[in-house]
Structure 1
């Protein structure tokens, strides 16, 4: 098991996926243990995706087996030049945000799988529990799911077509299995790095425990 468990509400069915619009891409889903990827691409690539997901999860799990602190620490982890690339990327991006390396694990899976899928499809969208890798040749709209909040799915982000991919990641203190010390309904970060967006969303989410903390969280996000 990779992910730490929490007592937050977990939307296991992920019904928000039923609201996705657009028929221009093929949609498919790939699961392994806690990882549940919803993918859209130019063609059905579940066979390759399953191999990629298993490979990257295996690298993370193997590293954890020999480096137990990597999974449990909530503080930045020392860089390891001998580690797999996905591990080094997790260590680097989370250190920038002052959180433990596992704060970027979902974003890491989305980004590394997404980049590999670009070898088979010019457009790829990978959603992994609210962390999204997007490489699109047209404008895409992303709504923010925030559980029972009255703002849930009422805030829409317009993601312009880009030559490179982009990450859109959301952390919540109320919804989902990921660890958060805050109480924010949703904190969403957009970045050229899915890992960085994931880590930053976690870091900001940890700050917001009351309404008074929102401004402090925004200031931190601008650093």
Structure 2
């Protein structure tokens, strides 16, 4: 079980070297938090918390992965379907979150797996830290008591890491997830360099980013794709980047990033 299925080659060529270096992990910096990495099989998390919690985080990851893998053993199609999964039987919480997110966005449940794991681990760690950032393959769960800015990583687009999403209040926690048709391993039928979605649920943000990205075959599709995302549930904001063009909607603020040179 990986974060998401491998995607077919489509549109502009991806940036495998940039992705391997995980350049997107420079997107969020939070003052006063300790950063540490947790890797369990294909799940690779970068976590920021008030103190090192790698052992606790690993336990949460193993629990999530075990629950998802157990459900897939019962229902193998769950891992491969590209359409919403019905509520056919009792399921663990992380699986139910994936199912509900896929239903809201009109995609398969595995489109929400990275966001669902990030949120499940993050909420579990809130027992030991009041602030947390969990990043899983570019998908985030964030709980902070101060405003933060998340940079928009969009691969080869000239807009990549030039703008950021300013989040003044994360409340009890929210998700900020990104899908791309040109960067990374996420399954996308579109060619957007980045589709960023902010939602109260990381699973929903993840699934919605995939669904919106699937609609984008050219820059002229940006407005229609954003409009489709507005009806996918508790979505707070959407940003789409295709080459030199960008579209945005919602209760979000775009701010320029002050990137130091050298």
2:250 matched residue in structure 1: none
2:50 and 2:125 map into 1 onto residues whose CA distance is 10
Q: Label 1:145 to 1:205 Cα distance change in 2 as closer, same or farther (>3 A).
A: same
Q: How large is the RMSD of aligned CA atoms in angstroms?
A: 1.4
Question: Structure 1 stretches (4+) deviating beyond 4 angstroms?
Answer: none
1:14 matched residue in structure 2: 22
Q: Deviations over 1:102-127 (max 9, x none)?
A: 00000000010010000000000001
Gaps of 5+ in 1: none
1:4 matched residue in structure 2: 5
**Equivalent of residue 90 in structure 1, options 89, 98, 114:** 98
Q: Residues 190 and 216 of structure 2 are in contact (CA less than 8 Å); yes or no, is this contact kept in structure 1?
A: yes
Gaps of 5+ in 2: 232-262
1:211 and 1:203 map into 2 onto residues whose CA distance is 16
**Equivalent of residue 223 in structure 2, options 212, 215, 220:** 215
2:123 matched residue in structure 1: 115
**Equivalent of residue 206 in structure 1, options 208, 214, 232:** 214
Specify which structure has the higher proportion of helix: 1
Give the 3-state SS of the residue equivalent to 2:145 in structure 1. coil
2:189 matched residue in structure 1: 181
2:76 matched residue in structure 1: 68
Q: Label 1:158 to 1:55 Cα distance change in 2 as closer, same or farther (>3 A).
A: same
**Equivalent of residue 106 in structure 1, options 108, 114, 119:** 114
1:94 and 1:32 map into 2 onto residues whose CA distance is 24
2:89 and 2:160 map into 1 onto residues whose CA distance is 41
Q: Is 1:28 aligned with 2:36?
A: yes
Please identify, of 93-102 and 153-162, the stretch whose mean Cα deviation from structure 2 is larger. Answer: 153-162
Structure 1 residue 19: Cα displacement: 6.4
Structure 1 residue 93: Cα displacement: 1.2
Give the 3-state SS of the residue equivalent to 2:20 in structure 1. coil
1:141 matched residue in structure 2: 149
Q: Residues 28 and 151 of structure 2 are in contact (CA less than 8 Å); yes or no, is this contact kept in structure 1?
A: no
* TM-score computed with the length of structure 2 as normaliser: 0.81
* TM-score computed with the length of structure 1 as normaliser: 0.95
